[in-house]
């Protein structure tokens, strides 16, 4: 799935330095080699992440972001002229770090995102296109960001107003399950919470 967005970060008063890491779906590559473009549908434009910190190492600058409060990075419902449909929710997993050359106009992020949901729309099969990976899997993604109108990536960027566009892709054929250690940690936390609840009773 290929994604993209065009957005503006509004001046210093922009609450918590919001930044759109993922754009909406642009088009899909199917396992039979064909493609279809995004059509009518819905993509929320409030899926912003907040800047946590900025660090400089030599000629590289890295912006670290907090995940949205609900953990959702991408949500999209798509219909393409009656022939295709897609729908899904992707969540944060691991560090959210954008890296750029200090003073440059392009930046990138590479990582994994977790498939939270992939329910069929009312189109149903075979017009609904499921992701190649299953809900719960971690899939590879990459996004690239370009600043326009004279803005550059530096330590002062998020104190200014700037416009940017993004392009990227999510590779559902490059999937791995959630590491067992993470699952065990989740189970352990559930057990501790349950024990604490019993103790309070």
Position 184 scores a pLDDT of: 45
Q: Euclidean distance between the first and final Cα of the chain, in Å?
A: 49
Spatial separation of the C-alpha atoms in residues 99 and 103, rounded to whole Å: 12
Average pLDDT over residues 143-155: 96
Q: How confident is the model at residue 189 (pLDDT cuts 50, 70, 90)?
A: very low
Average pLDDT over residues 14-23: 75
Q: How confident is the model at residue 141 (pLDDT cuts 50, 70, 90)?
A: very high
Position 17 scores a pLDDT of: 64
- DSSP letter string, 162-180: EEEEEEEEEEEEEEEPPPH
Global pTM reads 0.84
Spatial separation of the C-alpha atoms in residues 104 and 108, rounded to whole Å: 12
Tell me: the pLDDT tens digits for 74-96? 999 999 988 999 999 999 998 99
Both tokens of residue 137?
A: 């899997």
Spatial separation of the C-alpha atoms in residues 76 and 49, rounded to whole Å: 17
Position 67 scores a pLDDT of: 85
Both tokens of residue 58?
A: 């030599």
87 or 198: whose pLDDT is higher?
A: 87
Of 97, 112, 47, the C-alpha closest to 76 is 47
């Amino acid at each position: 799935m290929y994604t993209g967005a065009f957005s503006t970060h509004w001046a210093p008063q922009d609450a918590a330095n919001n930044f759109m890491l993922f754009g909406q779906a642009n088009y899909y590559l199917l396992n039979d080699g064909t493609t279809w473009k995004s059509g009518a549908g819905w993509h929320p434009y409030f899926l912003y992440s907040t800047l946590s910190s900025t660090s400089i190492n030599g000629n590289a600058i890295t912006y670290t972001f907090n995940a949205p409060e609900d953990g959702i990075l991408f949500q999209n419902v798509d219909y393409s002229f009656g022939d295709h449909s897609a729908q899904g929710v992707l969540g944060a997993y691991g560090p959210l770090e954008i890296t750029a050359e200090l003073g440059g106009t392009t930046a990138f992020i590479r990582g994994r995102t977790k498939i939270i949901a992939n329910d069929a729309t009312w189109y149903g099969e075979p017009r609904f296109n499921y992701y190649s990976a299953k809900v719960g899997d971690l899939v590879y993604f990459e996004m690239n960001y370009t600043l326009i109108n004279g803005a550059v990536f530096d330590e002062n960027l998020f104190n200014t107003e700037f416009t940017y566009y993004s392009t990227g892709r999510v590779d559902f054929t490059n999937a791995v399950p959630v590491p067992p250690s993470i699952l065990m940690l989740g189970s352990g936390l559930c057990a501790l919470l349950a024990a604490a609840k019993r103790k309070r009773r």
